[in-house]
């Protein structure tokens, strides 16, 4: 890796007459300030002066980046010539900064990133940054830009690959009660009504009763028997949480964003209110004048805020493993395409258990969760379903399709056969449950510690719409055809509302 930076320093006084003294000082920096450690060296390879400007070229092939070296040189110049010559540095500009580095393999198509042009010849990449400011250098973007180019090239080799999927186990085939789409049939019966916008549903009493039964079963048959405790969190997630979890860089195109009013002063809103009263319409352009830029979004999942709640905390050994779940935060994800059934929605209801503990505790918990889920899906729902190792969702969000976790960390999907979609072999099964162990990914991101132990974490999102869709697709809408295990919890549906 080679760095070459060209910088122009504007000083407070004319450098004429200081050329010799300045040159000697810059030469000395190459053997002192810029060469303190063998693995961290840089060099001023060229310098010129003109009136109040000093032009430098700094190169490096080590971990001491020239942009960092430049800031050190700036401080050293100020300390050396400030008092003696009343010389201060007014500004720094970087007309050109070139970084050359090797890739693991050549790209399959051009790569672009913000702030720099990218030229790649074979496996050699050259980043060229022009007109950089001192503020830009201080933000230390350079290494992230290099990493981003490498990631983009690597991701090109995953594009178009099928997601990793490895079957673990499959239940026996079950007798089919019907082959209809439960969402369409519930709409016909008036149990459901499509929301006023895409991907939202209004659940009338019958559908709501089924959904709430799923919630009850998940809590009382899976979570409470294992010692999970309920927490309550906000629906709204600030960006800093998603930055730590990686969601913000992985899936910003799926969020529903939240904005706040700039002010609650009615005078500032007078024109918008007047327009609304006159036109009986929403003038979006006028509305936007009174809105702040977005700084948060609606929950994509509950786990990020749960991790945030432990940020910087040291957990007592006696509290391990930590077993908590949230069922209150509504989740929102902007789905592509038009309207879909309740199995694929923009707004949905889920329960998210999160677990934090030692490696052994979490591996043991995974087996216990598998037992509880299997009990529900076999004994209560009597589903036809299967388990598979898949590309972990946190790798998918980074574009790493085709990768899987190890047998210790990673994601297991539970999939249900949906008869209305076609044959078992040729149709798409519904992923209606997952179970992940994430290692120390979020433990490190949120600086969560234990008194003695090394911590891991994991989560297992329970989507109530997905459970409902899988169950009804196989068992139908008539409670007389439902398994006895399920009718112990819901044997009769509410009468509902009759419309004329």
For the annotated catalytic residues, the residue numbers are: 303, 333, 335, 344, 352, 413, 431, 434, 459, 466
Give the model's confidence band at 397: pLDDT under 50 very low, under 70 low, under 90 confident, else very high: low
Positions of E strands within 333-444: 347-348, 350-357, 385-390, 410-416, 430-439
Residue 251 lies in a domain: no
Quick check: 188 pLDDT over 60? Answer: yes
Residue 40 lies in a domain: yes
Residue 71 main-chain phi, psi, to 5 deg: -65, -35
Q: Mean pLDDT for the chain?
A: 93
Residue 233 and residue 256: Cα distance in Å, rounded?
17
Tens digit of each residue's pLDDT (9 = 90 or more) over 225-260: 999 999 999 999 999 999 999 899 888 999 999 999
Same domain, 197 and 112: no
Same domain, 31 and 148: yes
Residue 144 lies in a domain: yes
Per-residue pLDDT, 160? 63
Give the model's confidence band at 164: pLDDT under 50 very low, under 70 low, under 90 confident, else very high: confident
Give the model's confidence band at 404: pLDDT under 50 very low, under 70 low, under 90 confident, else very high: low
Per-residue pLDDT, 396? 54
> Which residue segment(s) compose the domain that 37 sits in?
2-156
CATH code of the domain in which 14 resides: 3.30.70.1920
Residue 476 and residue 470: Cα distance in Å, rounded?
10
Give the model's confidence band at 272: pLDDT under 50 very low, under 70 low, under 90 confident, else very high: very high
Per-residue pLDDT, 340? 81
Per-residue pLDDT, 398? 52
Per-residue pLDDT, 321? 98
* pTM greater than 0.75 (yes/no): yes
Quick check: 407 pLDDT over 80? Answer: no
Same domain, 135 and 169: no
Residue 360 and residue 153: Cα distance in Å, rounded?
36
Quick check: 117 pLDDT over 80? Answer: yes
Same domain, 26 and 110: yes
Q: Which of 119, 139, 156 is the last residue of a domain?
A: 156
Give the model's confidence band at 86: pLDDT under 50 very low, under 70 low, under 90 confident, else very high: confident
Q: How many domains does the chain have?
A: 2
Give the model's confidence band at 161: pLDDT under 50 very low, under 70 low, under 90 confident, else very high: low
Q: Which of 99, 133, 156 is the last residue of a domain?
A: 156
Residue 129 and residue 383: Cα distance in Å, rounded?
58
Per-residue pLDDT, 394? 57
Residue 239 lies in a domain: no
Average pLDDT over residues 308-322: 97
Same domain, 391 and 322: yes
CA 448 to chain centre: 18
Q: Are strands 322-326 and 53-60 parallel, antiparallel or unpaired?
A: unpaired
Give the model's confidence band at 456: pLDDT under 50 very low, under 70 low, under 90 confident, else very high: very high
Quick check: 424 pLDDT over 60? Answer: yes
Residue 356 and residue 447: Cα distance in Å, rounded?
13
Q: Which of 101, 134, 156 is the last residue of a domain?
A: 156
Quick check: 432 pLDDT over 80? Answer: yes
Tens digit of each residue's pLDDT (9 = 90 or more) over 362-378: 999 999 999 999 999 99
Quick check: 172 pLDDT over 80? Answer: yes
Same domain, 359 and 435: yes
Same domain, 476 and 404: yes
Same domain, 45 and 144: yes
Same domain, 191 and 49: no
Quick check: 399 pLDDT over 60? Answer: no
């Amino acid at each position: 890796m080679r760095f070459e930076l060209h910088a122009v320093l504007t000083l407070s006084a004319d450098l004429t007459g200081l050329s010799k003294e300045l040159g000697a000082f810059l030469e000395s920096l190459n053997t002192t300030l810029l060469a303190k450690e063998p693995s961290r060296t840089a060099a001023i390879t060229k310098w010129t002066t003109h009136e109040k400007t000093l032009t430098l070229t700094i190169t490096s092939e080590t971990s001491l980046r020239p942009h960092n070296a430049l800031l050190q040189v700036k401080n050293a110049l100020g300390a050396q010539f400030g008092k003696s010559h009343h010389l201060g540095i007014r500004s720094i500009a970087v007309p050109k900064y070139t970084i050359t580095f090797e890739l693991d393999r050549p790209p399959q198509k051009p790569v672009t990133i913000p702030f720099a042009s990218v030229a790649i010849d074979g496996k050699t990449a050259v980043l060229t940054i022009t007109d950089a400011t001192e503020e830009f250098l201080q933000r230390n973007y350079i290494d992230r830009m290099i990493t981003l180019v490498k990631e983009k090239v690597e991701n090109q080799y995953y594009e178009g690959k099928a997601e990793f999927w490895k079957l673990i186990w499959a239940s026996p085939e079950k007798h089919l009660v019907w082959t209809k789409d439960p969402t369409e049939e519930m709409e016909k019966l008036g149990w459901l009504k499509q929301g006023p916008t895409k991907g939202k549903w209004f659940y009338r009493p019958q559908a709501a009763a089924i959904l709430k039964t799923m919630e009850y079963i998940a809590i009382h048959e899976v979570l409470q028997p294992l010692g999970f405790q309920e927490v309550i969190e906000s629906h709204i997630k600030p960006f800093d949480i998603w930055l730590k979890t990686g969601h913000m860089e992985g899936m910003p195109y799926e969020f529903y964003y939240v904005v706040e009013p700039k002010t609650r002063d009615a005078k500032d809103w007078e024109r918008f209110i007047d327009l609304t009263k006159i036109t009986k319409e929403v003038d979006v352009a006028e509305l936007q004048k009174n809105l702040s830029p977005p700084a948060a979004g609606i929950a994509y999942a509950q786990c990020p805020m749960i991790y945030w709640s432990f940020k910087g905390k040291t957990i007592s050994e006696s509290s391990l493993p930590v077993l908590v779940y949230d069922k209150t935060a509504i989740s929102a994800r902007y789905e592509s395409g038009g309207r879909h059934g309740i199995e694929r929605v923009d707004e949905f209801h889920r329960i998210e258990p999160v677990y934090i503990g030692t490696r052994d505790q979490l591996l043991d918990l995974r087996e216990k969760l598998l037992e509880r889920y299997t009990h529900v899906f076999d004994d209560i729902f009597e589903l036809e379903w299967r388990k598979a190792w898949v590309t972990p969702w946190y790798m998918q969000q980074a574009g790493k399709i085709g990768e899987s976790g190890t047998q210790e960390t990673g994601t297991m999907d539970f999939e249900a056969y949906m008869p209305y979609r076609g044959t078992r072999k040729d149709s798409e099964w519904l992923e209606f449950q997952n179970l992940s162990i994430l290692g120390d990914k979020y433990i490190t991101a949120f600086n969560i510690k234990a008194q003695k132990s090394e911590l891991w974490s994991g989560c297992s999102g329970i989507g109530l719409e997905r459970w409902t869709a899988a169950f009804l697709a196989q068992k139908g809408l008539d409670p007389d055809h439902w398994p006895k295990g399920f009718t112990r919890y819901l044997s009769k549906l509410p009468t509902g509302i009759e419309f004329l």
